[in-house]
Chain A
Amino acid sequence: EIVMTQSPATLSVSPGEKATLSCRASQSVSRDLAWYQQKPGQAPRLLIYASSTRVTGTPARFTGSGSGTEFSLTISSLQSEDFAVYYCQQYNNWPRTFGQGTKVEIK
C-alpha cells in the first residue's frame, strides 16, 4: 500500500501567520490527493481534492499544491478556527491511505 508521510507532526503558528504543511507519498499518486481538517471531538471535514481544488465552503486562504509524490497545504493567514489536525489522503491506489496528520497549534 502507498504510505503517506506528513510533516511536521506539530506546527506552532501565531494567528495571522502563514502555515505550510507537507505530505509525501511513497510512490506517485499523480494529483489524486485530498486534504481534510479535523477538530477535537468532530468528524473530519474535506477541504481540498485533486491536489488543489477547494470544495464548496473551503475558504480561499487554504491552498493545495503538488503532484506525484510531494504535496503541500498552505494556510495563508491563520484564523482561530483553523487550529486543528490536518490529514492528507491519496486515492490513486487501493487501499486509499491517509497520512498520520499534522497538528496546527497556537503559538
Chain B
Amino acid sequence: EVQLAQSGAEVKKPGESLKISCKGSGYRFSNYWIGWVRQMPGKGLEWMGIIHPSDSDTRYRPSLQGQVTISVDKSNNTAYVQWTSLKASDTAIYYCARGYGGNRDVFDVWGQGTVVTVSA
C-alpha cells in the first residue's frame, strides 16, 4: 500500500526551531515529487512548496521562501520541512503529499498531517 507517514504533533514556543518529517512507503520514493500543504486553524489549504527526491529540485511559495526549508533524504525515503525560528502564525496542520503520476502538479496520496502549535 502506498503511504506517507508523518511525524507526530509538536508544541513549540516562538523562536524555537522545528523539523517535521514525511516517510514514504509502498512505492519508488525517488520517482515522485513530494509537496507540502499548510492548513491554518479553521482555514483552507495553502500550497507551500515541492521537492523531487532524486535531485532535491525544490520550488517554494514565494512568500515562504526563506521562512522554511524543504529537504529530502532519499536514502530514508523521507522528506522534511524545517523552521529555524517559529512564529505563532506557523500554527497549522502540515500535510505532505505525493505528486500524481510522478509530476509536480496535483497530489494523489496524502500524509495524515502534522499538527504544529506555536504558543508562548
Which residues from chain A sit less than 8 Å from chain B, CB to CB?
Answer: 1, 32, 34, 36, 38, 43-46, 49, 55, 85, 87, 89, 91, 94-101
Contact = CB atoms under 8 A, between A and B. Distances in A.
Contact of A49 (B61, B105, B110): B105
Interface range, B side: 20 to 34
Of B46, B100, B106, B108, the most chain A CB neighbours within 10 A belong to: B106
Contacts of A96: 47, 50, 105
B108 A46 contact: yes
B95 A43 contact: yes
Given A43-B97, A85-B44, 19 more contacts: A36-B45, A43-B111, A43-B112, A44-B37, A44-B110, A45-B110, A46-B106, A49-B100, A49-B106, A89-B106, A91-B106, A95-B49, A95-B59, A95-B62, A96-B105, A97-B47, A98-B44, A99-B44, A101-B44
B113 interface: yes
A55 B50 CA distance: 21
